[in-house]
């Protein structure tokens, strides 16, 4: 079974972001970028499926600027066999990403597609679900366990009240939650080998997909700052403040 993994280049999760002075967007110049943490988990899961003999080939795909090839190289170093880069400098909304990925699914015919549940920049949590809709495949979102059982896929999902297990027909789309696995680190020899692995570079136009969205970003602002608080010296003082000053007890 071929496994397709989608990865996104985002601002590193430790970075404290700055909003641009003209409020047009978040400032990404000279900021450390990395693979989206949920995508790392997706790559790890695909590689583990290959190590178990369930997956025969792992293909990593990314939509974004030329620099996104760094994250695809990382995927290759972690164990993906080849990569597809759909290059665009436009701001691509989830629906357009899903349309591009649907074209790749159509070409590659994978048995399973794994994506992260959300990107930590836009926090949308949409692409996997949209891809499932466009390819008319079942979806197992927010997965904390994935088990291939013959022609079925058992997915344990993290839901609000606890856990839910569903069975899906294959092929299927899965999005990863944090507890699915612990991603490995790429070793230097693997990073070197990854440079020789194939990378197919395409454009949205190759697939006839219009990237422009009907959603426009009007403004980006910093959230309201919280006022610096006070430190109290004792439990009694804390309770007194909560009762008489904040009036929440």
Partner 1 sequence: MSILVLADLHEGQLAGATAHVVAAAEAIGGDIDVLVAGEGVQAAAEAAAKLNGVTKVRVADNVVYAHQLAEPLSALLVELADDYTHVLASASTTGKNVLPRLAALKDVSQLSDIIAVDSADTFKRPIYAGNAIATVKSDDALKVITVRTTGFDAVSEGGSGSASIEAVDVVVENSQSSFVKEELAQSDRPELGGAKVVISGGRGMGNGENFKLLDGIADKLGAAIGASRAAVDAGFVPNDMQVGQTGKIVAPELYIAVGISGAIQHLAGMKDSKVIVAINKDDEAPIFQVADYGLVGDLFEILPELESNI
For position 71 contacting partner 1 by CB under 8 A, the verdict is no
Which residue's CB is nearer to partner 1, number 57 or number 122? Answer: 122
Contact status, residue 36 vs residue 7, Cβ threshold 8 Å = yes
| Residue 150 interacting with partner 1 (CB under 8 A) | no
**What does the block give as tokens for 89?**
């400098």
Please identify which residue in 90, 164, 201, 203 interacts with partner 1, judged by CB under 8 A. 164
Q: Is 72 in the site for partner 1 (CB under 8 A)?
A: no
Piece of 1-9, 58-66, 138-146, 200-208 that binds partner 1 (CB under 8 A): 138-146
According to CB under 8 A, which residues from 173 to 192 bind partner 1?
A: 177-179
Q: Does 36 bind partner 1 (CB under 8 A)?
A: no
* Among residues 168, 174, 180, 194, the one that binds partner 1 under rule CB under 8 A: 168
CB of 2 closer than 8 Å to CB of 56: yes
Does residue 90 interact with partner 1 by CB under 8 A?
no
Stretch that binds partner 1, among 52-60, 104-112, 184-192, 228-236 (CB under 8 A): 228-236
Told to check if 56 binds partner 1 by CB under 8 A, we report no
Task: State yes or no: residue 17 binds partner 1 (CB under 8 A).
Answer: yes
- Whether the CB-CB separation of 38 and 59 falls below 8 Å is answered with no
**Residue 67 touches partner 1, criterion: CB under 8 A:** no
Residue 149 CA to residue 80 CA, distance in Å, equals 23
Q: Does residue 24 belong to the site contacting partner 1 (CB under 8 A)?
A: no
219 binds partner 1 (CB under 8 A): yes
Q: Are 47 and 183 within 8 A, CB to CB?
A: no
Does residue 220 touch partner 1 according to CB under 8 A?
yes
Which pair of tokens denotes residue 124? 């949308």
What is the distance between the alpha carbons of residues 74 and 43, in angstroms, rounded to a whole number?
Answer: 10
CA distance 94 to 9: 14
**Cα atoms in the 13 Å half-sphere on the side-chain side of 145:** 9
Q: Which is nearer to partner 1, 21 or 230 (CB)?
A: 230
- The radius of gyration computed from the CA coordinates of the chain, to the nearest angstrom, equals 21
Closer of 16 and 196 to partner 1 (Cβ): 16
- Applying CB under 8 A, the site for partner 1 has a residue count of 79
Binding mask 96-135 for partner 1 (x = CB under 8 A): --x------------------xx-xxxxxxxxxxxxxxx-
With beta carbons less than 8 A apart as the criterion, state whether 61 and 7 touch: yes
For residue 98, CA distances in Å to 70, 102, 119, 224 come to: 21, 6, 14, 33
Q: What is the DSSP-derived secondary structure letter of residue 87?
A: E
């Amino acid at each position: 079974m071929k496994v397709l993994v989608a990865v996104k280049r985002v601002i590193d999760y430790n970075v404290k972001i700055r909003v641009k002075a003209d409020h047009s967007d978040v400032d990404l110049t000279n900021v450390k970028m990395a693979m989206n943490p949920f995508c790392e988990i997706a790559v790890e899961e695909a590689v583990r499926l290959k190590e178990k003999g369930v997956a025969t080939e792992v293909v990593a795909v990314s939509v974004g600027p030329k620099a996104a090839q760094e994250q695809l190289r990382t995927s290759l170093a972690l164990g993906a066999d080849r990569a597809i880069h759909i290059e665009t400098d436009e701001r691509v909304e989830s629906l357009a990403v899903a349309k591009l990925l649907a074209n790749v699914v159509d070409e590659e015919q994978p048995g399973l597609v794994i994506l992260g549940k959300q990107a930590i920049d836009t926090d949308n949590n949409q692409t996997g679900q949209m891809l499932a809709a466009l390819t008319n495949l079942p979806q197992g979102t927010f997965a904390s366990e994935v088990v291939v059982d013959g022609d079925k896929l058992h997915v344990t999902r993290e839901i609000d009240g606890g856990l839910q297990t569903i069975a899906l027909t294959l092929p299927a789309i899965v999005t990863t939650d944090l507890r699915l696995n612990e991603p490995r680190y790429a070793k230097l020899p693997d990073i070197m080998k990854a440079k020789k692995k194939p990378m197919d570079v395409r454009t949205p136009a190759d697939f006839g997909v219009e990237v422009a969205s009907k959603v426009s970003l009007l403004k980006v602002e910093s959230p309201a700052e919280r006022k610096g608080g006070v430190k109290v010296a004792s439990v009694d003082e804390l309770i007194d403040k909560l009762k008489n000053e904040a009036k929440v007890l």
